Amino acid sequence: MRIALGIEYDGYSYAGWQKQPGLLTVQSCLEKALASIADHEIKVFCAGRTDAGVHGVGQVVHFDTEVMRIPRAWVIGTNTHLPKSITVRWVETVANEFHARFSAISRTYQYVIYNTPIRSALLAGRATWYPYQLDVKRMQEAAHYLVGEHDFTSFRSSVCESKSPNRNVHWIEVTRNNQLIFIKIQANAFLHHMVRNIAGTLIAIGNGAHEPDWAAAVLQAKDRRAAAETAPPHGLYLYQVGYPPHYQFPVPFLPIFG
């Protein structure tokens, strides 16, 4: 039997999603908690691995088990064994051909910037503080150059293991709500550090250091050195994973930002 779960987590205190020897990770905590309910070892597979400090709102995982438990047991029971920074939001029994990663047809990330001269104590670790004024219109204009299927070599990490640098960005939205700026981006998949590198480049355009069409020049360069610095991890959220329509998973939300 295959079970899918929706997971929410504050990644600030974790060394990323993936299990690593001697390090505290989201995966290791989740597998331990699930094993307590299943009474056997559990291995989960996720839709997208997140780095240290990155958060998850709509992370989706699956695992296999022969143990019968009511949905409430998987959700409430597992949550009692998890730290407060990780929560199981929902559970669904799925067909055996479902795979959290390979069945996904899109991923949506949201990058949050707290754009004000004074830092926030409450948003520390949950948004990137940028004290200088950013022009959202310039950032959105620049983002248009990145939409579509392109070679995103300029926006990938030097340690990215993907065989191809090509990705299809469906859309990018840059919006402001008072002192908060949101960069929301959806693509079929992402390269390592791709969203954070895009965010860093849009920030460099929003602050006036470059014109919006610089984003096109960076993309065409196919050289990571052409782009701006990688934006910090704690402003990044894995927001939603898209699947074919016959999977009716609950829509996630960002409770601290509305």
Backbone angles phi, psi at 106, to 5 degrees: -160, 160
Catalytic-labelled residue, pool 39, 51, 151, 213 = 51
- Say how far apart CA 239 and CA 102 lie, in whole Å: 18
Backbone angles phi, psi at 15, to 5 degrees: -85, 35
- Say how far apart CA 99 and CA 95 lie, in whole Å: 9
Q: Which of 37, 39, 57, 38 is nearest to 47 (CA)?
A: 57
Instruction: Look at residue 177 and give its three-state secondary structure.
Output: strand
- Say how far apart CA 195 and CA 183 lie, in whole Å: 9
Helices (H), the chain: 26-38, 71-72, 78-80, 136-143, 194-206, 214-221
Q: Which of 228, 210, 194, 198 is nearest to 138 (CA)?
A: 210
DSSP string over 39-72:
TS----EESS---TT-EEEEEEEEEE------HH
Residue 135 annotated among the catalytic residues of the structure: no
CA dihedral (202, 207, 212, 217) positive or negative: negative
- Say how far apart CA 37 and CA 13 lie, in whole Å: 24
Instruction: Look at residue 8 and give its three-state secondary structure.
Output: strand
H/E run at residue 107: strand 106-114
Active site residues: 51
